[in-house]
A and B are shown apart, each in its own frame.
Chain A
Amino acid sequence: MALFDYLKSTLLSKVVMAVTGVILVLFLIGHCVGNMQVYIGQEVFNRYAHFLQGLGELLWIIRIVLFVCLVLHIITSIRLKWLNFQAKGQKYEVKNYVKAKLTGRTMIWTGVLVVAFLVYHLLHFTIGVIDADNFSKRNMEYYKGEVVIAEDKVLNGESNEIGKLERQAETIKVEGKELSKENDVVLFFRPDAYSMVVKSFRQPLYAISYIILVIFVGFHLSHAIQSAFQTLGLNHPKYNCFFRAVGPWLSTILVICYISIPITIWFGLVGGGV
């Protein structure tokens, strides 16, 4: 297939690894910033989660882009790993690495752990198969919201469409609920993602497995980010201290932020009210 012709070139394959990898890293940064809202509180966190769910087509576009990146990244990594294994040929009896670090030499294995984590994480918090009792769709909460009526759509304050508009003479109804005026404050339902996360991470098994797998994602990124710069041709003595350092630093910061959530919840510092 012409689409996969790039696999015949080592350099183009590397560029595909780098571009898809960087897009995935940008997602991880965005996701991390979003998650940090758990420290602001239940209200903000749930509003954010609900906002993401309400993105509709945009959410699916993001999901598809990320999925395509991941698939290309994995296919290319397997092809390159096989090529490199072939190219190396016979191993040395004694091998002494001067500069190559373990994180760099284990990319394919930390990559496999990233996939394992991804599947586990989606089953846990997105699809709700793992720890199903706690899954947010079953944990609903009331929240106060202002109704905004735009033409025939009824939106809540987060611009999510929340129901069908029915106009009967003087009264306005949304899904059978009567509103007194067009900008009313009413109670709505939304998934209580905050409580779900808190209840899950209070169970040591979920907290520990999450922490360990996130650390492996960190190992992957610690080599990957500087590698992507170099692959994309970004190397200059003036800026190399940045290009080389940003990987370990960024991945350390990301790992600390991500794992701080299960740790603070586990130790009861966050989510005490749930």
Chain B
Amino acid sequence: MKLTLHIWRQKNAQSKGHFEKFQMNDVSEDMSFLEMLDLLNERLISEGKDAIAFDHDCREGICGACSLTINGTPHGPEAATTTCQLHMRKFKDGDTLYIEPFRSRAFPVIKDLIVDRSAFDRIMAAGGFVSVRTGQPQDANAIPISKEKADLAMDAAACIGCGACVASCPNGAAMLFVSAKISQFAMLPQGQPERKRRALNMVNQMDKEGFGACTNHYECEAVCPKKISVRFIAQMNRDYLKARILKEKD
């Protein structure tokens, strides 16, 4: 396959950044998108040029490290797929692709296509956990959980925290991520003791990080590689309201 790539290059957080054009003539349909970039980087390195910096880790769609906005869609055109799992056969010979970093004020560019997503870590630290006392492990079946609840909690827990929701959002909002992280516990008995406090603290941290306010376009749900549903945002709204208005902590 032949491809024309316009890739965002930016030396560091302070510099302005610009697009650089690359011509690819030897792309295999069986490559993943990241392998296609590896190929380009090998060429750049052999030419003594600076390789394109992009995030990746597991390359099997479970870690959430890979990013990239490809022709205006985070993780590219294939629904429910991370960039690392996106195959080049999804594109046509002769295509022109614009490859940009995930854009949002709260995700500053570090270099080229890598952005700093540590805002998500700080939101998690504000309440994305259950406090568990150490001691004897209790019997696995001691706490009954219905199949429906367990499934729903798993759906929320499928979030890999990649930040595509923020990148796709016209408002730079992080509500899909935050709501998934709140809901995975809100559905389960283990999450109840800190439920309202968690919603309050995580939403407050989200606001502090400078993420926007959702206006319910559901663009996030459409691009999410894990198909996280916006019903969790509604769930978060309910929990947060109960915590704020009723001033209930738990």
A binding-site residues for B, Cβ under 8 Å? 8-15, 80, 83-84, 86-101, 104-105, 107, 223, 226-227, 230-237, 240
Contacts and interface: CB of A to CB of B under 8 A. Distances in A.
A104 to B, nearest CB: 5
Contacts of B203: 9-11
B8 to A, nearest CB: 8
A94 B206 CA distance: 27
A88 B171 contact: yes
B218 A92 contact: no
Contacts of A10: 173, 203, 206-207, 211-214
Given A230-B233, A233-B238, A92 B103 contact: yes
Contacts of A230: 216, 230, 233-234, 237
Given A11-B241, A86-B210, A96-B73, 9 more contacts: A9-B244, A15-B241, A84-B170, A87-B211, A88-B105, A93-B19, A98-B219, A104-B215, A233-B234
Contacts of A92: 69, 72, 100, 103
B98 interface: yes
Contact of A99 (B19, B69, B103, B222): B222
Could you say which interface size class chain B belongs to? Answer: 35 or more
Contacts of B235: 233, 235
Contacts of A8: 207
B217 A100 contact: yes
Contacts of A88: 103-105, 169-172, 212
A227 B216 contact: yes
Given A9-B207, A235-B234, A84 B223 contact: no
B135 to A, nearest CB: 36
B112 interface: no
B240 interface: yes
B231 interface: yes
Given A84-B213, A231-B237, A233-B234, A90 B103 contact: yes
Majority DSSP secondary structure for residues of B touching A:
mixed
A199 to B, nearest CB: 41
A219 B98 CA distance: 32
Given A11-B241, A89-B104, A93-B19, A84 B219 contact: no
Nearest to A237: B231
A140 to B, nearest CB: 47
B217 A94 contact: no
A128 to B, nearest CB: 37
Interface string B72-99: 1100000000000000000000000010
Nearest to B244: A12
Interface string B90-131: 000000001010011110000000000000000000000000
B6 interface: yes
Given A10-B212, A93-B19, A100-B217, A87 B233 contact: no
29 contacts: A10-B206, A10-B207, A11-B203, A11-B213, A11-B240, A11-B244, A14-B237, A15-B237, A84-B173, A86-B212, A87-B106, A87-B173, A87-B211, A88-B104, A88-B105, A88-B170, A89-B103, A93-B8, A94-B72, A97-B72, A97-B217, A98-B223, A99-B218, A99-B219, A101-B217, A105-B170, A231-B237, A233-B241, A235-B235
